[in-house]
Chains A and B, each alone.
Chain A
Amino acid sequence: MSYVTKSPWVIHYDGSSCNGCDIEVLACLTPMYDVERFGIINTGNPKHADVFLVTGSVNEQNKGVVKQIYEQMPEPKVVVAVGICANNGGIFRECYNIMGGVDTVIPVDVYVPGCAARPEAIIDGVVKGLGVLEEKRKALASGQLTAPAAPEESEQAEEQEAASEENGTEKVEEKEEA
């Protein structure tokens, strides 16, 4: 018996959504759809979340944020990409700052298409995600699930180092100019 499928807590992050999908996500919480019937709670805290709902595509500015939220969530966790923007970039795909779908940054488990995705589709996506969640829990319990954070962290650290180096050199140059 597993409880992870009975109380999936959701964190919702708006990548570069036009707000259409966000409104539909929030619509799931209203009396009309009432996802709390399935024990689903919308938490604002990645550390309490089991399901990561991302709406909108990821852009160069917020890819770090998306990664960080994902890393802060304790295993087992699933990522649900809501709306065609989150799936592959959608109508924003060609924009200069858009990286594409959420899967360009973090592994995505369930893709919910639609523009905007309907509340029924979103609920369906989360329920599909529960199956993945259960598999991951089993893997975690038997020790097969390896933390994916390790290589990413070192990448991030390198990026940060590079960034700080850049900053450092910039400052030096500025001083020389002065």
Chain B
Amino acid sequence: MITTIISVVAYVVLAPLVGGLLAGLDRIVSARMQGRVGPPLLQPFYDVFKLREKEDITVNNVQDFYVTCFFFFVVVTGAFFFAGGDLLLVIFTLTLASVFLIVAAFSSNSPYSQIGAERELLQMMAYEPMVLLTAIGFYMTEGSFKVKDIISGGAMDFLPLVGVFFGFIFILTLKFRKSPFDLSMSHHAHQELVKGLVTEFSGKTMALIEVAHWYENIFLLGFVFLFFANGTIWGAVIGVVVCLLAYFLEVFIDNNFARMKWQVAINSAWLVALILGVINLFIVYLI
């Protein structure tokens, strides 16, 4: 019980710090890949504090409420996860959080954010099957949906679930909003939808969205960690290293691809879910 509380508190306090640092590293690494020096490591924090100093311009009061809900449910998702809760519950709460962000974008009545919201829905359609298959995979190998059991389970789930693992890495590109699948909003300036989903959010609301994304990224890396956790210290070390590698793989992909159409996003994500995910699960079932 006490360890559960400690890990939840640690998540709520540390996730934005680590997430922000990772975002800063991301920007430095991206800059170096482009032959630039890049911003200071703490730049994402400066950005968020800057946004908090700005005047509030709200198109529509209800959107702040939705964004707050988005933030709240993203934190709750991670809290369930790090409390060792049920993976299915975690996935559904995350979906609920995303829905709040989409509703917020729709409520602002701007064509840019509305098209961004539509694309976000398409992206959800693209990645959701693979996320569910990942949960099912863990259930088939560990016999439980509970994160607590999966973490302490004796075997490393990466070995039987290698296909599912790479499928999950594939949809991480969608979840991290990296090129080639940063359809609904891009981290980089200037796209055809201005800033897509978040065009109409500014000031404190925008700061909240940024911090929510840091929470979300850490939670998603937690998923990657699950594949390697086997209750020993070595499992944990390998897990953290692979999480970092996965993050930098995404940064690498981000810098090497142009954005693709939404058809490609959906087709490829479903194809990957079908080939890597379903076949892997079928093999696990046979064994």
Task: Assess whether A36 is interfacial by the CB under 8 Å rule.
Answer: yes
Cβ of B195 and Cβ of A48 under 8 Å apart? yes
B88-96, B139-147, B157-165, B186-194: which lies at the interface: B186-194
Task: Assess whether A140 is interfacial by the CB under 8 Å rule.
Answer: yes
Task: Assess whether B203 is interfacial by the CB under 8 Å rule.
Answer: yes
Report how far A41 CA is from B195 CA in the complex, Å: 13
Top 10 A-B pairs, shortest CB-CB distance: A3-B49, A47-B202, A74-B55, A75-B55, A6-B46, A31-B35, A3-B50, A7-B50, A34-B36, A7-B46
**What number of residue pairs across chains A and B have CB atoms under 8 A from each other?**
79
**Least CB separation from A40: chain B residue:** B39
Task: Assess whether B228 is interfacial by the CB under 8 Å rule.
Answer: no
Residues of B within 8 Å of A15, CB to CB, are none
Cβ of B40 and Cβ of A39 under 8 Å apart? yes
Cβ of A48 and Cβ of B202 under 8 Å apart? yes
Give A39-80 as 1s and 0s: 1 = Cβ < 8 Å from B's Cβ atoms.
Answer: 101111101101000000000000000000000101110000
Task: Assess whether A127 is interfacial by the CB under 8 Å rule.
Answer: no
Report how far A6 CA is from B47 CA in the complex, Å: 8
Residues of B within 8 Å of A43, CB to CB, are 189-190, 195
Query: Which residues of A are at the interface with B, using a C-beta cutoff of 8 A?
Result: 2-4, 6-7, 31, 34, 36-39, 41-45, 47-48, 50, 72, 74-76, 137, 140-141
User: With A3-B53, A31-B34, A76-B55 given, is the CB distance from A45 to B194 under 8 Å?
Assistant: yes
The listed residue (B37, B47, B55) touching A34 by CB distance below 8 A is B37
Within 186-221 of B, Cβ neighbours of A (below 8 Å) are at 189-191, 194-195, 199-203, 206
Task: Assess whether B57 is interfacial by the CB under 8 Å rule.
Answer: yes
User: With A7-B46, A45-B194, A75-B54 given, is the CB distance from A37 to B39 under 8 Å?
Assistant: yes
Nearest-neighbour CB distance to chain B for A68, whole angstroms, equals: 13
Cβ of A4 and Cβ of B53 under 8 Å apart? yes
Residues of A within 8 Å of B27, CB to CB, are 36
Cβ of B55 and Cβ of A37 under 8 Å apart? no
Nearest-neighbour CB distance to chain B for A136, whole angstroms, equals: 10
Q: List 15 A-B contacts (CB under 8 A).
A: A3-B46, A7-B43, A34-B36, A34-B37, A36-B36, A39-B39, A43-B189, A44-B190, A47-B199, A48-B202, A50-B50, A74-B55, A75-B54, A76-B53, A76-B55
**Least CB separation from B193: chain A residue:** A44
**Least CB separation from B27: chain A residue:** A36
Nearest-neighbour CB distance to chain B for A10, whole angstroms, equals: 9
Nearest-neighbour CB distance to chain B for A34, whole angstroms, equals: 4
Report how far A160 CA is from B159 CA in the complex, Å: 68
